[in-house]
Chains A and B, each alone.
Chain A
Amino acid sequence: MTKRIHVSTELNGDAVDFLCDPRETLLDCLRDHLGAMGAKEGCGTGDCGACSVTLDGRLVCSCLVLGVEAEGKQIGTVEGMADGESLHPLQRKFIEHAALQCGICTPGILVAAKNLLERNPDPSETEVRYWLAGNLCRCTGYDKIVRAVMDAATEMREAS
Chain B
Amino acid sequence: MNYHTPETFEDAAAIAARAAGTTRFLAGGTDVLVQLRSDLVTPDDLIDIKHIPAAKAITRTGDGGWRIGAAVSGAEMTENAALCADWPGLVEGMDLIGSTQVQGRATLVGNLCNGSPAADGVPGLIAAGCTVTVIGPKGSREVAVEEIPAGPGKTSLAKGEVITGVTIPARGQHGGDAYLRFIPRTEMDIAVVGCAVNLRLDGDTVTEARVVLGAVAPTVRLVPEAGEAILGTTLEAAALDRLAEAASAACQPIDDKRGTIEFRTHVAGVLARRAAKIAHARAKGGTA
A92 at the interface (CB under 8 A from B): no
Known: A46-B98, A134-B98. A60 touches B105 (CB 8 A): yes
> What residues of chain B lie closer than 8 Å to A52, measured between beta carbons?
101
Q: When the two chains form the complex, which single residue of B36, B46, B102 contacts A134, counting CB atoms closer than 8 Å?
A: B102
Contact assessment for B34 and A23 in the assembled complex, using a CB-CB cutoff below 8 Å: no
Known: A2-B1, A5-B3, A66-B3. A23 touches B36 (CB 8 A): yes
Contact assessment for A44 and B37 in the assembled complex, using a CB-CB cutoff below 8 Å: yes
Q: When the two chains form the complex, which single residue of B1, B2, B30, B186 contacts A64, counting CB atoms closer than 8 Å?
A: B30
B42 at the interface (CB under 8 A from A): yes
Known: A64-B34, A112-B100. A22 touches B1 (CB 8 A): yes
Q: When the two chains form the complex, which single residue of A61, A63, A68 contacts B3, counting CB atoms closer than 8 Å?
A: A68
Give the contacts of B158-211 with A (CB-CB under 8 A). Answer: 186-188
User: Interface size (A, Cβ < 8 Å)?
Assistant: 32
Contact assessment for A46 and B102 in the assembled complex, using a CB-CB cutoff below 8 Å: yes
Contact assessment for A131 and B188 in the assembled complex, using a CB-CB cutoff below 8 Å: no
Known: A44-B37, A63-B33. A130 touches B187 (CB 8 A): yes
> What residues of chain A lie closer than 8 Å to B1, measured between beta carbons?
2, 21-23
Contact mask for chain B residues 87-104; partner A; CB cutoff 8 A; 1 contact, 0 none? 000000000001111101
User: Interface size (B, Cβ < 8 Å)?
Assistant: 28
Residue of B nearest to A3 (CB): B2
Task: Give the CA-CA distance A23 to B33 in the complex, in Å.
Answer: 9
Contact assessment for A58 and B104 in the assembled complex, using a CB-CB cutoff below 8 Å: yes
Contact assessment for A59 and B101 in the assembled complex, using a CB-CB cutoff below 8 Å: yes
> What residues of chain B lie closer than 8 Å to A25, measured between beta carbons?
33, 37
Known: A45-B38, A64-B105, A65-B105. A134 touches B29 (CB 8 A): no
A133 at the interface (CB under 8 A from B): yes
Task: Give the CA-CA distance A77 to B104 in the complex, in Å.
Answer: 16
B75 at the interface (CB under 8 A from A): yes
Min distance, Cβ A20 to any Cβ of chain B, angstroms: 10
Contact assessment for B37 and A63 in the assembled complex, using a CB-CB cutoff below 8 Å: yes
B48 at the interface (CB under 8 A from A): yes
A79 at the interface (CB under 8 A from B): no
Contact assessment for A22 and B2 in the assembled complex, using a CB-CB cutoff below 8 Å: yes
> What residues of chain A lie closer than 8 Å to B38, measured between beta carbons?
44-45
Given contacts A25-B37, A133-B186, A134-B101, 17 further A-B contacts (CB under 8 A): A22-B1, A22-B3, A23-B1, A23-B42, A45-B38, A52-B101, A61-B99, A61-B105, A63-B33, A64-B29, A64-B102, A66-B26, A131-B100, A133-B99, A134-B99, A134-B102, A135-B99
What would 26 A/B residue contacts be, using CB atoms closer than 8 Å? A2-B1, A5-B3, A22-B2, A45-B34, A46-B101, A46-B102, A47-B188, A49-B99, A58-B73, A59-B100, A60-B104, A61-B105, A63-B33, A66-B33, A68-B3, A69-B29, A69-B50, A112-B101, A115-B100, A130-B187, A133-B100, A133-B188, A134-B98, A134-B101, A134-B102, A134-B187
